[in-house]
Chains A and B, each alone.
Chain A
Amino acid sequence: MTVLSAKNITMQFGGLTAVDQFNLELSSNELVGLIGPNGAGKTTIFNMLTGVYVPTMGEILLNDQSIIKKTPHEIVKLGASRTFQNIRLFKDLTAVENVKIAYHNFIDYNMVQGMFRTKKFWEEEKKAQEECMKLLDIFDMGEYADTLAKNLPYGQQRKLEIARALASDPKVLMLDEPAAGMNPNETAELMETIHFIRNKFDITVLLIEHDMKLVMGICERIIVVDYGKTIAEGTPDEIKNNPDVIRAYLGD
């Protein structure tokens, strides 16, 4: 079943075509990698899929609903969430608070109930605390729950960002270079984590990555873009031996 599909999406910045007629089909529970040399348009594609940019042309469907011109938070509600290339945590808040913010839409009380601290407030807050702690525990981060996000080690910050993205209960999780800045050990651990959450939460994962070991290691399908166009698509083995991909990365 197709969860997310993009048809001929194009993004032009003035005279520059950053992404040119890009197509994408993500089935449920798939793990897909999006790779390409620097400046190929990967992050632009991400930004279109998450509502940060509105494509100049084309259509994007998430669970058969068009998300063109929808704001990022509306798209999150429809079931697609993301992480960022340069970690964007709420630095001065604790780890569990970071997760709670993304859990926002599942906490059910209004402002007046919150300000007057009615029974509903306490119940809902207790539930939110428990659910968010559960999520942190899945990432083995329970002990860091009350640590400020800025004081977490780098690898934990990356994990926290993924945990936060999962708190909104997405169907599609998009990871923008999750292994950036990680050492080989941390990358290996991250690979396991990504694999694990895909199975545990039964979600589709789309990731942009430069680390070939990670991409080749866990992705079932890889899409290679260069100059805003798809140049190859297939299993890791097919991609490894594709002459177009080798040319894009290494030149003629």
Chain B
Amino acid sequence: MDHNKKKAYLINAVAVVALYLVFFVLIQTKSMNNYFVGIAIMTCIMIIMAMSLNIVAGFLGEMALGHAGFMAIGAYASASFSMALIDGGLPLPHLVILILAMIVGGIVAGVFGFLIGTPTLRLRGDYLGIVTIGFSEIIRIFFINFGPTGGAAGLKGITKLVNFHNVYWVTIVIAFLIFTLGRSKQGRAIISIREDEIASEAAGIPTTRYKVLAFSLAAFFAGVGGAMYAHYQSFLEPSKFGFMFSIEMFVIVVLGGLGSLTGSIISAIVLTVLPEMLRSFAEYRLLVYSLVLIIMMIFRPQGIFGRSEFSLTAFIESLIQRKNVKNSIGGGEAS
């Protein structure tokens, strides 16, 4: 790790902690009421969902329109697990239960991602999109008819384990892991498939394996997102995980820029907070939301950041440079 990289890590770490402290103070001093804390938590969950979808949609470059299905699997699996654990009467701290539930939700969803990905990734583009819609609908309808998890009436009585503090750090950890994935040899292999699958194969990349890997990883993180959702809402109903929810996540990823994680984060924040802010406009709110999307797609079809990442280090450096230039110009005039 060279000096510049260390500096970049440090700057980002400071920014992450500073942002957390801001929220911490706001929540502790009750400047932020429960309603806003709720929005912040939902935003974090949507960030996790958007970033995980970005592995398939952005890195791998495939259209996956069934992300809500994996979220549902993660949510139900982790909720059933934590309920069983708490019913079993094991005296575990809540944080440990939540972490275990997240891992269970992630792994179950990841396994389903693997099972669904293996046969379907032979398809490409819109065909894959249709198949993934089909699978997520099957998952939804399964939960509607599955008695043990409450069926259509929903699953009640999940212990609320998620608060802003733990969801924030989970989001940070997932953001870090997906970011580093994109810059590892595995990430490069996945991205090369997006760029040119034939060339990727000819360069010695086992493309099928990496496609399934990308799909399973996306499902894994979606499962973790689902686990957070389940233990925040403490109530799950299958109708939440419909087709429109998958589309909503896809829109967030496209708007942020396919392949850009910082884009996904910004766009998840905007598209989660915006509809809430527009609540006072009541029926016009969806209109404004749609307009924002349309205007965005006309004037910036590649998304907020395109395929590049927003770099805090580069941003600070450019600020310092600008200041220096200004100073030297100012100094020149004075003399």
Contacts and interface: CB of A to CB of B under 8 A. Distances in A.
A101 B181 contact: no
A250 interface: no
Given A84-B199, A88-B196, A93-B192, A102 B204 contact: yes
Contacts of B196: 88-91
Contacts of B198: 52, 84, 88
Interface in B180-202: 180-181, 184-189, 191-192, 195-196, 198-202
B159 interface: no
Contacts of A50: 202
A42 interface: no
Given A73-B207, A101-B188, A104-B189, A88 B202 contact: yes
Contact of B203 (A52, A101, A109, A115): A101
A104 B188 contact: yes
A117 interface: yes
A117 B180 contact: yes
Interface string B291-323: 000000000000000010000000000000000
Nearest to A113: B184
B204 A105 contact: yes
Interface residues of A, number: 38
B1 interface: yes
- Interface-central residue, A73, A81, A121, A125, by most chain B CB under 10 Å: A73
B205 A82 contact: no
The dominant DSSP class at the A interface is: helix
Nearest to A76: B204
Given A90-B196, A92-B307, A168 B204 contact: yes
A81 B205 CA distance: 12
B90 interface: no
A100 B188 contact: yes
B177 interface: yes
Given A104-B205, A122-B1, A164-B203, 18 more contacts: A72-B201, A73-B201, A73-B206, A73-B207, A81-B202, A84-B199, A88-B199, A89-B196, A90-B195, A90-B200, A93-B195, A101-B188, A104-B203, A111-B213, A114-B180, A117-B180, A124-B185, A168-B204
Contacts of A89: 195-196, 199
Given A71-B201, A82-B202, A102-B203, A97 B180 contact: no
A116 interface: yes
A121 to B, nearest CB: 7
B184 A84 contact: no
B186 A111 contact: yes
A77 interface: yes
Nearest to B5: A122
Interface of B: 1, 177, 180-181, 184-189, 191-192, 195-196, 198-207, 213, 307
Contacts of A248: none
Given A72-B201, A82-B202, A115 B195 contact: no
Contacts of B188: 93, 97, 100-101, 104
A198 to B, nearest CB: 20
A61 interface: no
B192 A84 contact: no
Contacts of A72: 201-202
Given A72-B201, A116-B180, A101 B207 contact: no
Contacts of B307: 92
B203 A76 contact: yes
Nearest to B186: A111
B189 to A, nearest CB: 6
5 residue pairs, one from A and one from B, having the closest CB atoms? A114-B184, A76-B204, A90-B195, A88-B199, A102-B203
- Interface-central residue, A84, A117, A168, by most chain B CB under 10 Å: A117
Contacts of B189: 101, 104
- Interface-central residue, B1, B191, B204, by most chain A CB under 10 Å: B204
Contact of A115 (B181, B199, B204, B205): B181
- Interface-central residue, A90, A92, A124, A165, by most chain B CB under 10 Å: A90
A145 B111 CA distance: 39
Nearest to B185: A107
A193 B205 CA distance: 26
A150 B206 CA distance: 24
Contacts of A81: 202-204
Contacts of B200: 90, 101
A114 B187 contact: yes
18 contacts: A72-B201, A76-B202, A82-B202, A88-B198, A88-B202, A89-B199, A90-B192, A90-B199, A92-B195, A100-B185, A101-B188, A101-B192, A101-B203, A115-B180, A116-B180, A165-B202, A168-B203, A168-B204
